[in-house]
Amino acid sequence: MEKLDYAAQDKWPRVSGNMQSPIALSDDLVVKNDFQTALSFNYNHIANYVRDTGAGIEVGLKGQAQLGNRPFSLKQFHIHTPSEHTINQQSYDAEIHFVHEAIDGRLAVVAAVVRAGNASATYDAVLQHMNETTNFEIPVNDIIPEDKEYYHYIGSLTTPPLTENVEWYVLKTPVTLSQEQIANLMIFYSHNNRDLQSLNDRTIVSSN
């Protein structure tokens, strides 16, 4: 398996455009949401694979989500170390991306930033089943914060082909892995976060 070269991001194949991700999120830049668009998740607790894609650790997981008052289907989640987005100039130890697709093919990513704290039973399950393709139980709830306030903007995938028109929902409240789990994660990838991209006059919406 060939690793994606994060030291040569300028050489990645990409579709040109001005709506790239990740970006620096800031309360100074946001527009308040005038209508109720709460996020809701109904994810399975059975995963069907864990693999190292060359860009990060990816977990096959199904489920449903309501994002922007529309239904999306969960395809997988994967982990970046350290975080790709910054929030009010703060970077985090990691960032988990839940990748969804709508019936019309529209992509949406829900991102949870990670800081050191309590251990995650979800990460333990992922680690125990690394490179397996059999079904296994996974808690999931401990890598999604109870408070689902978020920042929303239109961006791109953060790995090639860097496809644009992706809906991003970056959760404001961090989740936790233990310091030991973060150290273990960094054995696989110590730097698989894409550089921050220009905002280019895009609107960042805040849910509160």
**Where do the domains of the chain lie, and which CATH numbers do they carry?**
6-206 (3.10.200.10)
What pLDDT is recorded for position 83? 98
Token pair for 60: 């096959």
Mean pLDDT of 29-45: 85
| Burial profile 115-153: b = 16 or more Cβ within 10 angstroms, e = fewer | ebeeebebbbbbeebeeeeeebebebebbbbeebebbbb
Higher pLDDT, 47 or 38: 47
pTM for the model stands at 0.96
The answer to whether residues 76 and 59 touch, using CB atoms and an 8 Å cutoff, is yes
Mean pLDDT of 176-205: 96
Q: Is the peptide bond before 161 cis (omega within 30 degrees of 0)?
A: yes
Mean pLDDT of 77-93: 98
